[in-house]
């Protein structure tokens, strides 16, 4: 039974079902049984992926291809559709593959194909020597070779390479009008991607070729700061990509490496926060190019926000749930503190960015450097009501920042 009503394109009403804790509390005079929330846009279950992309991503992608950093993250309980929103399926592409398509259309005819300029630190570029370029090519070849070992059965939302990579040209999906905004400026562009996860407060590179040895542990990466105080993940692999096809292959490999664990709510529910980032390097159009700038677009698929008793979590699963909810709790505290600091009459509040890996990486976006977009996915079923209400209250604070 649905307990969610869309009142208008900006408003959602939640009615507490009889069996929910919210209803039981309201009957005792604690809180309310009906809650109204407003958002910049509400998309109902009938919304197509194409409509959602147009309605949510247009401004972010347009700003990104013109040099403004972008962050998109999905928030909600397990089984609410977060991964589907970002990745989609082989027949119904999500916002990530659609964004990649727009980016490659934007740089068509101006694509710098050499690998001798590479992302460095948080927003710099380093020039590589010939030997280093060969090393980059070898790393990329090794990662793509591991695709043969990926089984299609592992993932809930994984694209079929043929239908995704070649289907875009045949489908009715029309790229946005952003890809010709810089037509008069003679520049070149190079595209690099990374894919990592934060699992139990440890950062792992999802593009590290995994050892077949069961005893060898994955390498944990550190978050460092450059001279300007900007956070970056030390030793994270950045892979040069030259087509949407290559990007989708690499995403598929990273998906295989992501920490999936069986929980009652979703057999392949991801127990980690994953971050897929695309860096666009802008270069002058000449024989010896000069660097004009770097912009980054990150897609963060947050782990499910449900609490422990809902998922029947024990042992390691309980530890995962604790770490997931702690990082989401710190994210909530940061957003609440930012909201308070917007009021000049209030005493400035400490913003605990450094208390979790997630918020350290997101800090620049919440401090006005770039465009951040929060997508809230909700499960309309009555059994998920209390968790959904918790998600909506968090989102209501975030909207006011």
| Length of the chain counted residue by residue | 401
Q: Is pLDDT at 364 greater than 70 in this prediction?
A: yes
* Number of other residues whose CB lies within 10 A of the CB of residue 65: 24
Cα distance between residue 241 and residue 396, in whole Å: 37
| Interacting residues of 128 by C-beta distance below 8 A, sequence separation 6+ | 115, 116, 117, 118, 136
For residue 393, give the 3-state DSSP assignment.
Answer: helix
Beta pairing, strands 239-241 & 273-284? unpaired
C-alpha angle with apex 293: 186 to 118, nearest 5 degrees?
105
Best CA proximity match to 12, nearest among 304, 386, 393, 339: 393
The pLDDT of residue 155: 43
User: Tokens 């595209």 appear where?
Assistant: 191
- 203 against 216, higher pLDDT: 203
Mean pLDDT on 54-59: 92
pTM (2 decimals)? Answer: 0.84
- Span 174-194, pLDDT tens digits: 444 333 444 445 899 999 999
List residues bridging with 35 in a β-sheet: 14
The predicted-structure confidence for 291-301, as pLDDT tens digits, reads as follows 899 999 999 99
What is the SS3 string spanning 51-93? HHHHHHHHHHHHHHHCCCCEEEEEECCCCCCHHHHHCECCCCE
- Nearest to residue 87, comparing CAs of 79, 97, 77, 78? 97
* pLDDT tens-digit readout, 57-92: 988 999 999 999 999 989 888 888 898 999 998 888
* Residues paired with 223 in a beta bridge: 233
Q: Is the CATH code 3.40.850.10 the one for domain 49-375?
A: yes
Distances (CA, A) of 239 to 101, 320, 355: 17, 29, 29
Map residue 88 onto helix, strand or coil. strand
Q: Residues forming the annotated binding site?
A: 76-83
Annotated binding site for ATP: 76-83
Higher pLDDT, 159 or 93: 93
| 233-268: pLDDT as tens digits | 999 999 999 998 899 899 989 988 876 544 444 444
**DSSP three-state, residue 313:** coil
Residue 104, C-beta contacts closer than 8 angstroms, at least 6 positions apart: 111, 191, 243, 244
The confidence score (pLDDT) of residue 107 equals: 93
Residue 139 is classified by DSSP as H
Q: What is the DSSP string of 344-392?
A: TTSPPPP--GGGSHHHHHHHHHHTTSSEEEEEE----BGGGHHHHHHHH
Kindly report which listed range (109-113, 250-254, 260-264, 394-398) carries the lowest average pLDDT score. 260-264
How confident is residue 157, by pLDDT bands cut at 50, 70 and 90?
very low
CB 127 within 8 A of CB 116: yes
Q: Are 60 and 70 in contact (CB under 8 A)?
A: yes
Answer whether residue 31 shows pLDDT above 60: yes
* Cα gap 85→71, rounded to integer Å: 15
């Amino acid at each position: 039974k649905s307990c969610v009503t869309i009142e208008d394109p900006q408003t959602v009403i939640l009615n507490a079902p009889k069996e929910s804790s919210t209803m039981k509390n309201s009957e005792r005079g604690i809180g309310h049984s009906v809650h109204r929330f407003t958002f910049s846009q509400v998309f109902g279950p009938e919304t197509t992926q194409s409509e959602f992309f147009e309605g949510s991503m247009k401004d972010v992608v347009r700003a990104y291809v013109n040099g403004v950093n972008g962050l998109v993250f999905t928030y909600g309980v397990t089984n609410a559709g977060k991964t589907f929103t970002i990745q989609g399926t082989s027949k119904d592409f999500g916002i990530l593959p659609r964004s990649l398509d727009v980016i490659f259309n934007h740089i068509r005819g101006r694509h710098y194909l050499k690998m001798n300029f590479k992302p460095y630190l948080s927003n710099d570029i380093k020039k590589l020597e010939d030997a280093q370029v060969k090393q980059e090519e070898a790393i990329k070849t090794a990662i793509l070779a591991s695709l043969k070992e990926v089984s299609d059965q592992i993932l809930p939302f994984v694209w079929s390479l043929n239908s995704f990579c070649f289907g875009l040209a045949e489908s009715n999906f029309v790229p946005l009008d952003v890809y010709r905004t810089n037509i008069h400026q003679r520049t070149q562009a190079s595209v690099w991607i990374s894919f990592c996860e934060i699992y139990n407060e440890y950062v792992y590179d999802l593009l590290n070729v995994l050892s077949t040895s069961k005893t060898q542990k994955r390498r944990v990466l550190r978050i460092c700061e450059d001279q300007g105080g900007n956070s970056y993940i030390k030793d994270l692999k950045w892979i040069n990509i030259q087509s949407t096809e290559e990007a989708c292959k690499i995403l598929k490999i990273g998906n295989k490496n992501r920490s999936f664990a069986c929980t009652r709510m979703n057999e392949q529910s991801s127990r980690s926060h994953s971050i897929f980032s695309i860096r666009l390097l802008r270069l002058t159009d000449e024989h010896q190019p000069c660097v004009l700038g770097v912009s980054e677009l990150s897609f963060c698929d947050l782990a499910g926000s449900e609490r422990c008793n809902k998922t029947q979590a024990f042992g390691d699963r309980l530890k995962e749930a604790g770490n997931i909810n702690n990082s989401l709790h710190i994210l909530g505290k940061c957003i609440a503190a930012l909201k308070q600091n917007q009021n000049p009459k209030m005493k400035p509040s400490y913003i605990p960015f450094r208390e979790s890996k997630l918020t350290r990486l997101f800090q620049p976006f919440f401090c006005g450097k770039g465009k951040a977009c929060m997508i809230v996915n909700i499960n309309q079923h009555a059994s998920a009501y209390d968790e959904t209400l918790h998600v909506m209250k968090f989102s209501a604070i975030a909207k006011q920042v």
